[in-house]
Amino acid sequence: MLFAPHALAFEGLVQSFGSTGIITWGNGEITVSQDVAGNAGGADQALSSLAVRKVVSQARKQMLDMVLSVRIDGKQTVSAYLSGDSDLSAQVRGLIQNSLFQGPTLFDEGGTVRVSERFRGPLAELVLPTTLQFQSGIPPRLSTAMAQGMPMADNAPEEVGSGTRGYTGVVVDARGLKITPALAPVIFGQDGFGAYGPFLVSRTSAVDKGVVAYSVTDNSNILKERVGVRPLLVKALSAYGSWRTDMIISASDARLMRAVAKSDSIANGCKVVIIVDAPEMLPDTTPTTSPERMEENNDA
């Protein structure tokens, strides 16, 4: 489906959590909207205030559960990462408890409470592990049996020369692979080496912009907000890992992508979009784990 270029800003993949919560993977926004029952029989102001506070608390609890359930990469969720650091988990809870709130006034008979936060800035600073090798320049290497059957270069993959000039970003078409969105995915080549991921991106850029953005459309008028007017287009051949967060592209595409992504403007801007299938409408599967029991979610 095509949209007029002036009609939509780039929001990317919108992932629903039941009927009230969404994560917008283009800009990292997390929102929960819940209705507040109207005052019945002329209830007093104090009761209205209590009703609003109760719904805001419920919405923020759902938002926390959503944040905890998000995968950082193929190894761990946010919950798993925070479970080993009580101080860090307390900071995340505090940030969510003070998230932006919009809602009805005390004198309204009803309305909707909306709370929001973003996987950018302060929240991203807390949930992106400091152990990730940001901007190391060293591509990770596949170490499974799958990689053993692939042709491997003796050294790190060679770069491509002048043919990489002019690209303004990278678009990876991963439709049909049932990719799971993650905060720090890695795109591998069939040569066994990483082609893009945190190893090419500074932590500051990842915190401010997200390592990648996810989209359900290949409309260039929408994607250009993230990847510019002349992105490199590559096709993902398969998903990698039990959680399907990482992707594998051809060896030739990987060599080209590494060279393109090393451009300062592309790496600093995290100008990579992964196109995925539009999500099916599913019942609410957001975990109901209290933040005090996050250690039980450790699935690293």
Q: Give per-residue pLDDT as tens, 89-116.
A: 999 999 999 999 887 765 555 678 899 9
Query: Token pair of 172, please?
Result: 């990876």
List 77's β-bridge partners, or say none.
71
Amino acid code (one letter) for 17:
F
Are 271 and 156 contained in the same domain? Answer: yes
Task: State which H helix or E strand residue 191 sits in.
Answer: none
Are 113 and 20 contained in the same domain? Answer: yes
- Residue 282 within a domain: no
- Residue 133 within a domain: no
- Residue 5 within a domain: no
- Residue 196 within a domain: yes
How confident is the prediction for the chain on average, in pLDDT?
Answer: 83
Are 113 and 151 contained in the same domain? Answer: no
| Residue pair 74/240 in contact by the 8 Å Cβ criterion | yes
Verdict on whether the full-model pTM lies above 0.75: yes
196: nearest Cα among 205, 187, 204: 187
Structure confidence at residue 256 (pLDDT): 95
CA atoms of 188 and 144, how far apart (whole Å):
13
CA 194 to chain centre: 19
- Residue 111 within a domain: yes
Structure confidence at residue 103 (pLDDT): 77
178: nearest Cα among 271, 251, 257, 241: 241
| β-sheet with 100-102: strand ranges across | 14-17, 21-24, 29-36, 111-118, 100-102
Work out whether strand 272-275 and strand 213-215 pair parallel, antiparallel, or are unpaired.
parallel
Give the domain range for residue 36: 14-127
Q: Give per-residue pLDDT as tens, 167-178.
A: 999 999 999 999
CA atoms of 52 and 239, how far apart (whole Å):
44
For the chain, what is the domain count?
Answer: 2
- Residue 293 within a domain: no
Are 118 and 187 contained in the same domain? Answer: no
Are 75 and 172 contained in the same domain? Answer: no
The DSSP call for residue 162 is: G
Structure confidence at residue 22 (pLDDT): 97
Residue burial 19-30, b: 16+ Cβ < 10 Å; e: rest:
ebbbbbbbbbbb
The pLDDT confidence band at residue 145, using thresholds 50, 70 and 90, is very low
Are 68 and 106 contained in the same domain? Answer: yes
CA atoms of 88 and 25, how far apart (whole Å):
23
CA atoms of 257 and 172, how far apart (whole Å):
10
